[in-house]
Structure 1
């Protein structure tokens, strides 16, 4: 397994640690783990492209690892009211629809890589989550209102980009519906 794929697998392995620490109230440590795991997403892609290590495993598992990380956080944050449940439903509905289309394409031997709008969606989500994590850290004091505003702004921006990228993905890959 090449280094980019190892980083992707590492991101998945980080999720239970992130979840456990968050649930135990260790928000700052959970924040650090989330940031570290998010940075592996940036790093694995750069390494894969630079050294021509792009694989079908990476094309499929890299976005899946992102989803596992981000949506685990969103699920936890629905529980404590930081993310509205309906937002998570919209986000997950888009993901399941796209995953279904990718599965159909794969059954025909096609691998559909993530598009730019989907990557932007992921970046916005990976910014929203740590900001939302910081909202739980009262020691930030006077900065909390600004952090809350930024967190909500990025959460809404990620929701809008989620919808947009889903529509774009379906439009660009509508041939999948006739497979």
Structure 2
């Protein structure tokens, strides 16, 4: 059976298209829909990853789109839940600031004609897993009306720790990379 190379990328694009739906659902107080869309997005992430690896359908576009889709979904959910008052705003600021710092560092390195290869660190993978778990727990608790304590606090601590460690490690690597620039 041959699967077209574009299938995983189309699935990823579909996940990106789910972002405004989940934002609308949270903003409208339709938490069951938000949770369902979040679950669909998670399943689609697993499916596109499986297809890309199992059938050797990896592509440069997919390597760019997949983390973009993940970040767009998570950041949108965190921001919307923060505005809605379902999660503390400080954690939203922390999560969003980390991503802004990483993107800014990449842009600056491009501007200096010193593009930096961005390889995800293990702590960043753990950070993403903690963010997904926290978002899922909050959305599920709002959807099904249960108290998420103490698990929400544990996940907030993990998100905080992994976010701070990952941004620190990325910035150390970026500074090390940028210090190789020759002064003219």
Please state which band the TM-score falls in when normalised by the shorter chain.
0.7 to 0.9
Task: List per-residue Cα deviations over 1:121-176 (Å, max 9, x = no partner).
Answer: 11111111121112323x54xxx23x232223223211211111112222334343
Q: 1:163 to 1:11 in 2, by over 3 A?
A: same
- Secondary structure in 2 aligned to 1:66? helix
Deviation at residue 15 of structure 1 after TM alignment? 0.8
Q: 1:92 to 1:15 in 2, by over 3 A?
A: same
- Please give the TM-score of this superposition, normalised by the length of structure 1: 0.83
Partner of residue 16, structure 1: 20
Q: Does the aligned pair in 2 maintain the 1:128–1:152 contact within 8 Å?
A: no
Bigger CA radius of gyration: 2
Partner of residue 73, structure 1: 77
Q: Does the aligned pair in 2 maintain the 1:105–1:112 contact within 8 Å?
A: no
- Please give the TM-score of this superposition, normalised by the length of structure 2: 0.81
Task: List per-residue Cα deviations over 1:12-56 (Å, max 9, x = no partner).
Answer: 100111111222221111101011112222332333233333333
Q: Does the aligned pair in 2 maintain the 1:63–1:114 contact within 8 Å?
A: no
Instruction: Give the total of aligned pairs.
Output: 174
Q: Does the aligned pair in 2 maintain the 1:19–1:73 contact within 8 Å?
A: yes
Q: What is the root-mean-square deviation in Å for CA atoms of aligned residues? A: 2.3
Partner of residue 7, structure 2: 3
What CA distance in whole angstroms lies between the structure 1 residues aligned with 2:114 and 2:9? Answer: 24
Q: 1:86 to 1:42 in 2, by over 3 A?
A: same
Matches within 5 A, 1:128-167: 128-137=134-143, 140=145, 144-145=146-147, 147-167=148-168
Matches within 5 A, 1:31-70: 31-70=35-74
